[in-house]
Structure 1
């Protein structure tokens, strides 16, 4: 379906497109992909449905444009820490803190990626899993290096990585946005707790 072109404003086409994607993520996070409609997303933006189609082809197109954002951001940050010259303890701490802070800052991103990925086409699900494996590989390598340096005492780094990432992602269930939450303090506390579970005494 081709959409009518929205009225021009001072905003660039790119920034308006980003607004559309962000609005879609908010609606998906609130209602779920299945429950959300094009009309819901258009209403969130103050658009007509026809105007929304100027930016996206379909509801699934919007999901495809946004679902990789969380994992790509995590991989980008993790790659920086992989080349970091600090200790494995420091690398692990930074990886965990970055993961938590990004989840707090971009909560909608993660809710949609973790909950609604089942609505992706098969090829895209496989691609998402591929990127997830790359992120886990970086985490696992930090733990392996920590074992070698004597900083960690972990029997199976791959299983430990899965446990750690499961704990981090579960944060979405209990850490609610808003209020007087100190994001950095929360991230440091979680990193410290997880680190105590793998650090060599």
Structure 2
């Protein structure tokens, strides 16, 4: 799955600094105005270029929506795959997985807002993005399950429901977090990690 997304996304135009700026601008505009209301002209103005110049990089607005949602999700999933397949303990894997989620949110806040809003779901590539999200979910669940099976985590936990709960906590940051908040992302990450670790810890071990 990850190799398929990487192959589709790579070409010389998309690897350019200008294209990266265009995608970042699209993420910002999609978040502010919503995908349906946003126009290519809005995005071109944000980048400081003519609308017609965008067509050197894309053929339609959908192309930008794909890039906006797949870029952070692909990176998050690849990082999580490396964590899940490492030789670290389940507890260490969970810590790293949670940090990966927070770090990704800090780096791609607008992009992940667009992903969570699921405006992409009815697009031609909706199934591909959904599969990538499912892979992320599977890898996270694998870490929880490993912790349960090795007696590091409580055995009365349902890994599927636990992952849903974790995502609910972390993804809800999109609703309230602001750069003007007096909470730093580092502080939020440490507080949330402590909460999750206490929730899953096997106190009888």
TM-score category (smaller protein): 0.7 to 0.9
Which 4+ residue blocks in structure 1 deviate beyond 6 angstroms?
A: none
How far apart are the structure 2 equivalents of 1:184 and 1:119?
Answer: 31
Instruction: Give the one of 159, 162, 185 matched to 2:161.
Output: 159
Q: Does 1:51 align with 2:75?
A: no
Q: Does 1:141 align with 2:142?
A: yes
Equivalent residue runs for 1:170-189 within 5 Å = 170-178=172-180, 181-189=183-191
Corresponding position of 2:81: 79
TM-aligned CA deviation for residue 178 of structure 1: 4.4
Deviations along 1:23-46, whole A, 9 cap, x unmatched? 111111111101111111111112
How far apart are the structure 2 equivalents of 1:155 and 1:194?
Answer: 12
How far apart are the structure 1 equivalents of 2:157 and 2:78?
Answer: 28
Q: Which deviates more from structure 2 when the two are superposed, residues 170-179 or residues 73-82?
A: 170-179
How far apart are the structure 1 equivalents of 2:86 and 2:121?
Answer: 37
Q: How many residues were matched structurally?
A: 189
Corresponding position of 2:94: 92
Compute the TM-score of the two structures, normalised by the length of structure 1. Answer: 0.86
Q: Does 1:70 align with 2:72?
A: yes
Q: Is the 8 A contact 1:67 1:117 kept in 2?
A: no
TM-aligned CA deviation for residue 65 of structure 1: 2.3
What stretches of structure 1 of length at least 5 have no aligned partner? 1-11
Q: CA RMSD in A?
A: 1.9
How far apart are the structure 1 equivalents of 2:117 and 2:71?
Answer: 14
TM-aligned CA deviation for residue 54 of structure 1: 2.0
Q: Is the 8 A contact 2:66 2:120 kept in 1?
A: no
Q: Is the 8 A contact 1:28 1:112 kept in 2?
A: yes
